[in-house]
Amino acid sequence: MSQGQLRVGFYSQTCSEAESIVRSVVRDAIETNPRNAPILLRLHFHDCFVQGCDASVLIDHGSNSERNAPGHIGLEGFEVIENAKARLESVCKGAVSCADIVALAARDAVSLIGVPFYEVPTGRRDGRVSNISFAANMPEVDDSIQLLKSKFMHKGLSHKDLVLLSSGAHTIGTTACFFLQKRLYDFSTSSSSDPAINPQFLPKLKALCPPGNVNDKIPLDAVTESTFDEQIFRNIRDGFAVLSSDARLNDDINTKQVLESYINNGSSTGRPVPSFKLDFTKAMVKMGNIGVKTGLQGEIRRVCGSFN
């Protein structure tokens, strides 16, 4: 993990309008389609987990590009980033990296739907490599909790960051039925469905995602789908997690304790209740520092989908 030379206000001299322009584009995108909030959040996560936060996932150079990796299936939001880039290029040509746009867009997306606004250190450069093979170790929905913890630890992220950035981020947005097929119909040799699914919930999931149905989308948190809150953790605890990777938080004492800490109202312990939203912002900043390229590393692309 590298923090490089990122700093808050990196563009204050070279493009003072940079952050306000990105925020304006993101606001318009979310007003047009509220799904763009979780879409932009997911895009940032997927970018940072492969070669660091360097916008490599945006490159569109054919079937061998990173964005076509199985772990990136269903990624969207590329056009929002390109719109922001085009506006920035018209105001401050060659100044703002696509990697910074992705990080700022994710911050703006969640802050526009109720997460406290947080400062994003900027100064990232765009990577010059995008290869499908580099995305082979993305966290997957069917990974065990041990494997998920290992993948996060490899990026310098803790088990608490895992709870916040993976499962916590699922408080908003949808998932395709594609990601539930194994969990519902081919879980293991001893059980066709994941026994962690609450018996009341299993028939509902199967009705929403029948065998072979891979394209329909369902809410990750059916209780408060559009609200950024702790309900996702209650769902996970009670067996109402949609994704297997979320349900697996209950399989590990450390992740389960973090999960419970955001549900507990503190009345029985007398201890202060941790703030999910504030902790989430800290984890986002931490993730945004993964493997960044700064200074003379990388480039600042003219168009986010292509190398210069």
Indicate the annotated binding residues for substrate: 139
Whether 47 contacts 66, CB under 8 Å = no
- Rounded to whole angstroms, the Cα distance separating 4 from 301 reads 19
- Rounded to whole angstroms, the Cα distance separating 101 from 302 reads 13
Helix, strand or coil for residue 291?
coil
The DSSP output letter for 274 is: P
Annotated binding site for heme b: 170
Tokens of 208: 């929403």
Active site residues: 46
Whether 125 contacts 304, CB under 8 Å = no
218 pairs with which residues across the strands?
Answer: 175
Tokens of 14: 């070279």
Phi, psi of 167 (to 5 degrees): -75, -40
- Rounded to whole angstroms, the Cα distance separating 69 from 72 reads 5
Phi, psi of 218 (to 5 degrees): -130, 155
> Looking up tokens 């408080």, which residue turns up?
171
Annotated binding site for Ca(2+): 47, 50, 52, 54, 56, 66, 171, 221, 224, 229
- Rounded to whole angstroms, the Cα distance separating 272 from 220 reads 28
Burial class (CB in 10 A: 0-12, 13-18, 19+), 22: buried
Annotated binding site: 47, 50, 52, 54, 56, 66, 139, 170-171, 221, 224, 229
Whether 214 contacts 178, CB under 8 Å = yes
